[in-house]
Amino acid sequence: MTGKYRRPGRFTVHVLNPLLSRLGAAATLEVVRRKTGTLQRVPVNVLDLAGHRYLVSMRGQAHWVRNLRAAGRCVLRERGRRRTYAAVELSGDERASVITAYLDRWRVQSFFTDLPDPADHPVFCLDPAET
């Protein structure tokens, strides 16, 4: 783990992310913060691939990544539904193939230009969990 992170700008944090969440234009990740125990909510792009669901951190070692590693589970809110998942972090070739599919689906290459090493982009496989 390298610890590189591309910080979002003020517009993204204070305008774009809240707007995406309110409009339901993106899935919202809910994960328990590792230090305070409160909920962190952040819009995410979920990749559905070959019957599995994945989260990829475009920005690198974000707080949600560290919180998800610590918690091992999360809730995704999508289109009015809430579903709990167990999260397993991927590595190596498995991570690289998911990142390739993620880039094809979401067209966020600029984030990967700034952080070109695939190791800088944590990837989690989400498995439905018992609530």
Domains and CATH numbers, the chain: 10-128 (2.30.110.10)
Instruction: Write the burial class of residue 49 (CB in 10 Å: 0-12 exposed, 13-18 middle, 19+ buried).
Output: middle
- Per-residue pLDDT tens over the stretch 112-121: 888 888 889 9
7: confidence class by pLDDT, cuts 50, 70, 90 = confident
20: confidence class by pLDDT, cuts 50, 70, 90 = low
Place of tokens 């305008």: 15
Q: d(Cα 8, Cα 10) in Å, to the nearest integer?
A: 7
Q: Are 106 and 53 in contact (CB under 8 A)?
A: no
Residue 68 backbone dihedrals phi, psi, to 5 degrees = -70, -40
- Per-residue pLDDT tens over the stretch 53-107: 999 999 899 999 999 999 999 999 998 899 999 999 999 899 999 999 999 999 8
